[in-house]
Amino acid sequence: MRNPSIWACVLGVEKTVVERVAVEEDGSLVAKARPRRSERQHCGLCRRRCPRYDWGDGRRRWRCLDLGYVVTYLEAEAPRVRCREHGVVVAAVPWARHGSSFTRAFEEQAAWLATHCSKSAVAGLMRVVWRSVGRIITRVVHEQRKSQDLLDGLRRIGIDEISYRKGQRYLMVVVNHDTGRLVWAANGRDSATVRRFFTELGQERCAKIEKVSCDGAEWIMTVVEEECPNATICLDPFHVVQWATKALDEVRREVWNAARIAGLTHDAKALKGARWALWHNPGNITSRQRTTLAIIQKTNKPLYRAYLLKEQLRLVFQLPFDEAVRALDRWLSWARRCRLQPFVKLARSVTYYRADIEAALQNRLSNALVESTNTKIRLITRRSFGFHSPAPLIALAMLSLGGLCPPLPGRG
């Protein structure tokens, strides 16, 4: 090997001197290397130049991108330095992130693939286990966030929660309505998590938030009111319709139970099957479901009334603002007198949140973006099985939906 810089170029490493390249018995390629003089003795955490402490555990290996079909490693000393701030730490190396046993190029390619391909494609192509991919993307995202502040320039945001695993595991997500990007996600579902977001945002940027859409959860709304003095809260109509759907389901269960207790098994069975017909928008139902609805209309007046109440509320939110406000008035006076307890209760909630609902209608700011982000996160969640903490799941979401995916190495 005549020209070491060609090897550095082929391996995709910078500020590195490749001393020697050899093929091992198992067929893998090992490049023995060292950092350039100016790159030696830097703290692995803060990159400050520090005195050497010792030689650590001796020589170490980092996986590089395969060369053709040959598994390739970079091998070098991994001395430790004594940092004023961080104490004794392994020195930084120019070819890898701190604490990683893969080169930067390897990690960037793995992150790019994790964003664009299936789990098995990434693991198979990169010859790593999926759990390692989780650690890789966590490191990549951590670094990307330092250079790209997604919290800058936020004006209109949406906050929501998403269940990512059975057993009450939740992520709180924040999206930017103006860019459509996911800008923040954290493990948790409480006001402390919401507050963490606003603390990270800082007082000055909190004051610039104009609109916040959310789903009506008190633990979100109270914190928003406290932290964002200039923001209008917009309560997503989509969630209000969801409340109506829940109320409808309660009515259906009540009449089903009544029919069962009265021994009307045929009626009870029909009602149990009616769930989907009642849930769907009339435009999307099958002819069989339409028949079910017609039967309910004839035989079960309260349930049909509940269905109409849900449907009408859904339609209210599709009207232009002024009409919607008037239609909401009519809906409320009907719901209050409908003698169906779940809807009377719903009318009370809608009255209570009315200003926030109208703000959403007026500003045309629904949580639809957050909802679509949530749907995408749910798909990401399925790929994240095998990760052992929420951090890699959050990293995968930030890569895909926060625009933090790095370019493929050598092509950026």
DSSP H/E element including 234 = strand 232-235
Indicate the SS3 state at residue 75. strand
If the CB atoms of residues 50 and 370 are measured against Zn ion, the closer one turns out to be 50
Q: Which residue is nearest to Zn ion (CB)?
A: 43
The reply to whether 98 sits near Zn ion by the rule CB under 5 A is: no
DSSP character at residue 49:
B
The site for Zn ion, by CB under 5 A, has a size of: 6
Would you say 87 or 282 has its CB closer to Zn ion? 87
Pick the piece of the chain touching Zn ion (CB under 5 A) from 83-91, 111-119, 153-161, 404-412: 83-91
Smallest separation, CB 42 to Zn ion (Å): 8
Comparison of 79 and 302: residue with beta carbon closer to Zn ion: 79
List the structure tokens of 109. Answer: 């390619």
Neighbour-count burial of 17, counting CB atoms closer than 10 A to its CB (0-12 exposed, 13-18 middle, 19+ buried): middle
Q: Least distance to Zn ion from the beta carbon of 84, Å? A: 7
Contact between 48 and 3 under an 8 Å Cβ cutoff? The reply is: no
Under the binding rule (CB under 5 A), the answer on residue 86 touching Zn ion is: yes
How many C-alpha atoms does 203 have within 13 Å on its Cβ side?
0
Minimum distance from residue 95 beta carbon to Zn ion (Å) = 19
Q: 364, 137, 118: which is closest to 236 by C-alpha?
A: 364
**Closer Cβ to Zn ion, 45 or 71, answer by number:** 45
> Whole-angstrom Cα distance, residue 257 to residue 238?
29
Structure tokens at 8: 């550095």
Closer CB to Zn ion, residue 43 or residue 313? 43
Which one, 43 or 255, has the nearer CB to Zn ion? Answer: 43
Instruction: Give Cα 64 distance to the centre of its chain.
Output: 30
Least separation in angstroms between CB 388 and Zn ion? 28
> CB-based contacts of 92: which residues, under 8 Å, 6+ apart?
39, 42, 43, 44, 47, 98
Token pair for 261: 């207790």
Does residue number 169 form part of the binding site for Zn ion (CB under 5 A)?
no
Largest separation between any pair of C-alpha atoms in the chain: 92
87 binds Zn ion (CB under 5 A): no
Stretch that binds Zn ion, among 75-83, 163-171, 174-182, 268-276 (CB under 5 A): 75-83
Closest approach of Cβ 44 to Zn ion, in Å? 7
**Does 81 participate in binding Zn ion (rule CB under 5 A)?**
no
Q: Which stretch binds Zn ion (CB under 5 A): 85-93, 153-161, 183-191, 376-384?
A: 85-93
- Closer residue to Zn ion (CB): 42 or 63: 42
Nearer to Zn ion, 80 or 177 (CB): 80
DSSP 190: S
Give the full edge-to-edge strand order of the sheet including 181-187.
181-187, 169-176, 156-165, 211-214, 232-235
| CA–CA–CA angle 323, 325, 328 (5° rounding) | 105
Q: How far is the CB of 139 from Zn ion (least distance, A)?
A: 17
What distances in angstroms separate CA 88 from CA 34, 60, 317, one per listed residue? 20, 18, 61
Q: Of 46, 217, 270, 368, which one interacts with Zn ion (CB under 5 A)?
A: 46
Asked if 220 interacts with Zn ion (CB under 5 A), we say no
Backbone torsions φ then ψ of 347, nearest 5 degrees: -60, -40
Out of 8, 29, 83, 251, the residue judged to bind Zn ion by CB under 5 A: 83
* Among 39-47, 210-218, 273-281, 357-365, the segment contacting Zn ion (CB under 5 A): 39-47
Joined together, the tokens standing for residue 220 give 């979100």
Considering only 10, 17, 30, 45, the residue that binds Zn ion (CB under 5 A) is 45
49 binds Zn ion (CB under 5 A): no
Report the residue number, 78 or 258, with the smaller CB distance to Zn ion.
Answer: 78
Nearer to Zn ion, 39 or 236 (CB): 39
Angle in degrees, CA 202, 205, 211, rounded to 5: 120
Does 85 bind Zn ion (CB under 5 A)? Our answer is: yes
C-beta atoms surrounding 58 within 10 Å: 8
Query: What is the Cα–Cα distance from 140 to 320, expressed in whole angstroms?
Result: 45
**C-alpha–C-alpha distance, residues 110 and 131, integer Å:** 12
Closer by beta carbon to Zn ion, 88 or else 121: 88
Applying CB under 5 A, the span of 9-17, 45-53, 226-234, 382-390 interacting with Zn ion comes to 45-53
In the list 11, 43, 91, 365, the residue contacting Zn ion (rule: CB under 5 A) is 43
Q: Which residues bind Zn ion (CB under 5 A)?
A: 43, 45-46, 83, 85-86
